[in-house]
């Protein structure tokens, strides 16, 4: 193992103990795995123990990491009296229905029973994701608008959290008027939310490609859509990054050779025909890899860029006309009208019943004909 700093060494030490549990590991074995001396291992273990890590030496045969005890379930009264977030986390953990006193953005208060399925962090707040029994549908509830919460005795139905998030498809949460977010916490939340959205969309693309692998039904339509998405997503992400950094756009992935006229001002239809012609030479797998490389590069940049970029607002680059109103970076990348929402729009349309193509039209481009980027 190459030289690592102390924080990384402590992480590696805990990882080794956790992987071996409940089997004890002797100091000399830990030292060999971490490529440090036994004295360093003992000193690190002492530090971790004083910090609250549950490490013990059964029979002096080595060190073993104890799993934390399961917290006592909250009673209904305790859930009502304690912090709201603790009650909601308990409801999610135990898959329970929780009753909320909730005040919406307009100031109207309601009382509703909600199946608690997850807590998610967005740039400007934390949200409970659940199934609202009053509305009979998926909903998100901002935690700072939950005045009180109490656990009920009812269990929640089994529902997929990713499915709920996809079904909600809400615009990016915006800060309150006049709010100023300058703390690293705000930047960390925005970055984490964006990276989660990137990974979720990449997962949807993998699933879509797997469904038509081997030339199955829908392969031709997906092929046309992936060609469209690879080029437009490449442009959208490059434009957002250029707006954020002030540098020239960097087009990621494996861009095909376009005619010189492609980089001039063109109507949407003419540009799309050039995209489809250039992408027609590629296989579905090649198109999927190109788009994945574009998204992977965006994830690397989002993970490493300065916190300050997540705390302000940037002009919204549009493919036609001038830039739109300024929005936060997380909103530009992963919110409404951004490149990820564009990808999901097309994936959703693939599941629709295809319209009858006009005479002479290529069925492969039926979905991109109605692309929201035209607007």
pLDDT tens digits, residue range 66-124?
A: 776 666 677 777 777 888 999 999 999 888 999 999 988 778 888 999 999 888 876 56
Edge-first strand listing for the sheet containing 125-132:
137-142, 125-132, 109-122, 96-103, 146-155
Calculate the alpha carbon distances from 19 to 15, 39, 72, 217, 219 in Å.
6, 22, 26, 44, 42
Instruction: Report in angstroms the alpha-carbon separations of 183 from 177, 190, 244.
Output: 17, 11, 18
Task: Show contacts of 46-51: CB within 8 Å, 24+ apart.
Answer: 47/10, 48/10, 48/13, 48/14
pTM value? 0.52
Minimal CA–CA distance to 90: which of 72, 67, 111? Answer: 72
Secondary structure in 3-state letters for 264-304: CCCCHHHHHHHHHHHHCCCCHHHHHHHHHHHHHHHHHHHHH
Phi, psi (deg, nearest 5) at residue 37: -80, 160
Which whole-number Å values give the CA distances from 200 to 223, 245, 322, in the listed order? 20, 25, 30
CA pair distance 233, 237, nearest whole angstrom = 6
What is the percent of the chain where pLDDT is above 70? 82
- Tokens 């009296």 found at: 81
Structural domains of the chain, with CATH: 6-65 (1.10.10.10), 76-168 (2.30.30), 184-374 (1.20.120)
* pLDDT surpassing 50 at residue 190: yes
Mean pLDDT of 311-316: 88
Q: Which residues pair with 115 in a beta bridge?
A: 97, 131
Most confident of 18-32, 45-59, 339-353, 354-368: 18-32
Question: So what's the pLDDT on residue 122?
Answer: 65
Pull the structure tokens for residue 113.
């029973």
Q: What is the sign of the dihedral through the CA atoms of 286, 215, 201 and 96?
A: negative
Kindly report, residue by residue over 253-309, the tens digit of the pLDDT.
Answer: 998 888 888 888 888 888 888 888 888 888 888 999 999 999 999 999 998 888 889
pLDDT tens-digit readout, 193-211: 888 888 888 888 888 888 8
Whose tokens are 């992987």? That residue is 19
């Amino acid at each position: 193992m190459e030289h690592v700093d102390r924080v990384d060494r402590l992480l590696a030490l805990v990882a080794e103990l956790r992987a071996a549990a409940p089997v004890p590991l002797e100091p000399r074995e830990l030292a060999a795995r971490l490529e440090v001396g036994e004295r360093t291992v003992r000193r690190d273990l002492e530090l971790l123990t004083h910090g609250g890590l549950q490490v013990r030496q059964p029979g002096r045969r080595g060190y073993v990491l104890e799993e934390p005890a399961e917290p006592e379930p909250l009673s209904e009264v305790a859930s009502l009296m304690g912090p709201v977030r603790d009650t909601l986390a308990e409801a999610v953990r135990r898959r329970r229905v929780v009753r909320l006193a909730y005040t919406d953005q307009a100031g109207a208060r309601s009382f509703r029973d909600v199946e608690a399925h997850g807590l998610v962090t967005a740039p400007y707040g934390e949200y409970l994701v659940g199934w609202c029994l009053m509305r009979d549908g998926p909903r998100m509830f901002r935690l700072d608008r939950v005045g009180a919460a109490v656990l009920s005795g009812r269990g929640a139905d089994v529902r997929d959290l990713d499915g709920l998030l996809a079904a909600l498809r809400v615009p990016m949460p915006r800060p309150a008027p006049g709010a100023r977010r300058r703390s690293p916490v705000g930047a960390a939340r925005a970055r984490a939310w964006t990276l989660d959205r990137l990974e979720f969309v990449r997962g949807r693309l993998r699933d879509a490609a797997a469904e038509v692998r081997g030339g199955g039904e829908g392969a031709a339509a997906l092929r046309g859509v992936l060609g469209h998405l690879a080029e437009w997503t490449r442009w959208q992400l490059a434009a957002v990054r250029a707006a954020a950094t002030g540098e020239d756009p960097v087009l990621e992935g494996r861009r095909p050779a376009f005619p010189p006229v492609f980089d001039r001002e063109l109507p949407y239809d003419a540009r799309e025909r050039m995209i489809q012609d250039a992408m027609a030479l590629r296989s579905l797998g090649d198109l999927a890899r190109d788009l994945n490389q574009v998204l992977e590069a965006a994830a690397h940049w989002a993970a490493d860029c300065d916190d300050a970029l997540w705390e302000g607002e940037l002009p919204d680059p549009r493919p036609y006309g001038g830039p739109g109103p300024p929005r936060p970076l997380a909103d530009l990348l992963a919110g409404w009208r951004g490149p990820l929402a564009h990808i999901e729009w097309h994936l959703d349309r693939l599941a629709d019943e295809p319209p009858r193509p006009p005479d002479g039209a290529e069925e492969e481009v039926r979905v991109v004909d109605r692309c929201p980027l035209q607007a």
